[in-house]
Amino acid sequence: MTLFFLGRELNDDFRNLNEYGIRDFSEVIAFLKNAHQPKDPPSKKLSLVVQTSSSLLNAATIPLEMRDANTVNDLKQFLLSKKILPADDYLFIHRQRIMRDSCSLKWHGVENGDCLYVFKGTVSRNGYATS
């Protein structure tokens, strides 16, 4: 059996789950290993929409495809590299929750057809969004 958390295989490098950043309600994926299975957990392609705020690109709606194993930071870097978003700090919202840059779309529960909202700003250490 192999365990994965945030796309990373858990091994014996750490002594407890807390050292991996696993907290209450974290999603850990378990796979049974055999000679014919890939080492990495399977990921699927998602069709989603990124909706910008009215102050950012006049409330643009951007359809795109990403893999569910991609992180929010991967999404952000993709939008910046394609010059869809100007260089700045951004935060993404899914189902009224601020998304973590280092977590995958799957971890956030993003499904086919979902809408993600992007705003200029950052999240402070105390968990509040600032712009």
Spell out the alpha helix ranges (H) of 32-96. 72-81
Task: Tell me whether strands 115-120 and 45-52 are parallel, antiparallel or unpaired.
Answer: parallel
Domain boundaries, the chain: 2-31, 45-130
Q: Quick: pLDDT tens for 18-72.
A: 777 888 888 887 776 665 555 556 778 999 999 988 777 778 899 999 999 999 9
As a whole number of angstroms, the distance between CA 77 and CA 101 comes to 10
State the pTM of this model: 0.65
CATH class of this structure's domain 45-130? alpha beta
Is the model's pLDDT at 14 over the cut of 60? yes
